[in-house]
Structure 1
Amino acid sequence: MSAWILLRGLTREARHWGQLPEWLRARGLSGDILCPDLPGSGRNAGERAPASIAETTQCLRAHLARDGHVPPYRFVALSLGAMVAVDWAQRFPLEVERLVLINTSLRRCSTAFERLRPGAWPLVARAAGCWHAGARREAERAIHALTCRRVDEREADLEAWTAIYESAPPTRANALRQLTAAARFEAARLAPRCPVLVLVSHADALVHRACSAKLAEHWGVPLIEHPWAGHDLPHDDPEWLADTIAAWVGNALAVATQATSA
């Protein structure tokens, strides 16, 4: 049974998925749900993050193989993680069964100002300036303001996120290398061979939603927009995200079953 691989974005890690893995299991998705960390983040915080998406992909392939997991995989991937998933699917097509790409951007399809919105720069600078442990809660506050629109549990989020950082702190150098990898990444012109679903948040203050729209149009794949969430869609509405993924997978399986029976 193919495993689902969940990949987070810049400097974030498995614990930042919050409730999403539980929601996906509750929706009956078949296969294991794995949340590996990018090099330089989470359990891999001690590793040097590569400065290219291709190298990041190679590291993750090696980590999964080391842990006894074998392809093909299905990806749910956010932002930088989605770039890794796209690279994986285009360079190793037999290893990827389907892709769900959330609030991502590709250099080929979008401008630099769309990929990192100018309005986000002050909060990005604030987070970078408060990177160290003594001021980390303020960094997380800036990240929360930049990426989240659901604020009813903000103080609990900040407490949890600060604790995550303190237990496995990503370095500024690794953050810069991850950012460099994202900025340089340019996917192939043709869409991956596997089914692709693009999801976008209407109120994303970090990456303009036009990035996802242009990508979906360029590849001729479905695009679904969440009406109010921010960049961190898994945080803002994990139930909607799980429902949408489950419905997409269910529809695809139904179509395949009908085609086979015909």
Structure 2
Amino acid sequence: MLDSIGRNWLLLRGLTREAGHWGEFSAILQAGFPQARIHTLDLPGAGERHLETSPREINAIMRSVRLQALQRGLPSEPLTVVGLSLGGMVAWEWMLKHPQEICAAALINTSLASISPFFQRLRWQSYPDFFKLLLQADPYRKELAIIRCVANRRDADEKIALEWAKIQTERPVTLSNTFRQVIAAARYRPGDHRPAQPLLLLSGRGDRLVAPACSDAIQAKWQLHLRSHPWAGHDLTLDDADWTLKQLKDWVKQQSMRTGIS
């Protein structure tokens, strides 16, 4: 199964986000892996599934996403998953429960309740802004506030906020589903067993939403590969997509060298 790493990608976003929020990263990943297939799926309650009710447990979210993947035939070759934050938790659970379907995963700024305290998993400094933006009625102002919370580049805030406001207007995530996803993430305790597949942790040291210490804790517990960006925030692919691609390419190359695949 290791010879499939980097050939069949699945991208999973995080809290209240959908496939559209990957922006240019999907195309950048495709350019970096021109022979690969690139897929995106939405979590229940977001994107094309925004009318659904989000489960309040990661395992149930995983089962729903996995069923959609199977219906589309995506795991015809084992998947290499890129999971951001909540998407990383879904990927972790999927690898534990159905290891034959995922050959490797890169987890971006994710966290596990079993090894990191709640005030690191949602940094206490972000509480006032986080709950204020949830109640913001104007889509543009709301998305602009989200960008300024999850990203540290400021050169395209207005442009991206307009794009994200359009997404929210067309496929709105309800406040109820937002809290359901928060509850699912807060409850997720996968235990002491890590997935057997190769794992890469990517962390933005400038993450103001989830403390980088959460990625550090996962790395320390299971001695996983961790690569840290010096200034990027929670949405690492938005802040520095090229750096993220380089880490993925280097990691896939490493795995190929270990298995003797050119």
Tell me, yes or no, whether TM beats 0.5: yes
Maintained 8 Å contact 2:46/2:172: yes
Equivalent residue number for residue 114 of structure 1: 120
Give per-residue Cα distances to partners, 1:60-92, cap 9 Å, x unaligned. 111112223225211001000000000001111
2:150 and 2:100 map into 1 onto residues whose CA distance is 33
2:67 and 2:258 map into 1 onto residues whose CA distance is 34
Maintained 8 Å contact 2:30/2:36: no
- The alignment partner of 2:75 has SS state of coil
2:225 and 2:75 map into 1 onto residues whose CA distance is 28
Q: Which amino acid in 1 is paired with 2:211? A: H
Q: How does 1:105-254 map to 2 (within 5 A)?
A: 105-130=111-136, 132=137, 135-254=138-257
Deviation of residue 29 (structure 1)? 5.9
Q: Which amino acid in 2 is paired with 1:137? A: Y
Give per-residue Cα distances to partners, 1:176-203, cap 9 Å, x unaligned. 1111100000113122110000010010
1:170 and 1:36 map into 2 onto residues whose CA distance is 15
Q: Which amino acid in 2 is paired with 1:111? A: P
Maintained 8 Å contact 2:207/2:234: yes
Tell me which moved more, 172-181 or 1-10.
Answer: 1-10
Equivalent residue number for residue 19 of structure 2: 14
CA RMSD of aligned residues (A): 1.4
Equivalent residue number for residue 62 of structure 1: 67
List gaps (5 residues or longer) in structure 2: none
Equivalent residue number for residue 80 of structure 1: 86
1:187 and 1:207 map into 2 onto residues whose CA distance is 18
Deviation of residue 122 (structure 1)? 1.4
Maintained 8 Å contact 1:120/1:205: yes
2:249 and 2:115 map into 1 onto residues whose CA distance is 28
Maintained 8 Å contact 2:106/2:200: yes
Give per-residue Cα distances to partners, 1:99-118, cap 9 Å, x unaligned. 10000110111011110101
Maintained 8 Å contact 1:202/1:230: yes
2:225 and 2:74 map into 1 onto residues whose CA distance is 29
Equivalent residue number for residue 106 of structure 2: 100
Q: Which amino acid in 2 is paired with 1:136? A: P
Q: Please report the TM-score for the alignment, with normalisation by the length of structure 2.
A: 0.94
Q: Which amino acid in 1 is paired with 2:109? A: N
Q: Please report the TM-score for the alignment, with normalisation by the length of structure 1.
A: 0.94
Maintained 8 Å contact 2:105/2:200: yes
Q: Which amino acid in 1 is paired with 2:110? A: T
Correspondence for 2:9 among 1, 4, 25: 4
Maintained 8 Å contact 1:126/1:142: no
Deviation of residue 16 (structure 1)? 0.4
Maintained 8 Å contact 1:126/1:139: no
Deviation of residue 30 (structure 1)? 4.5
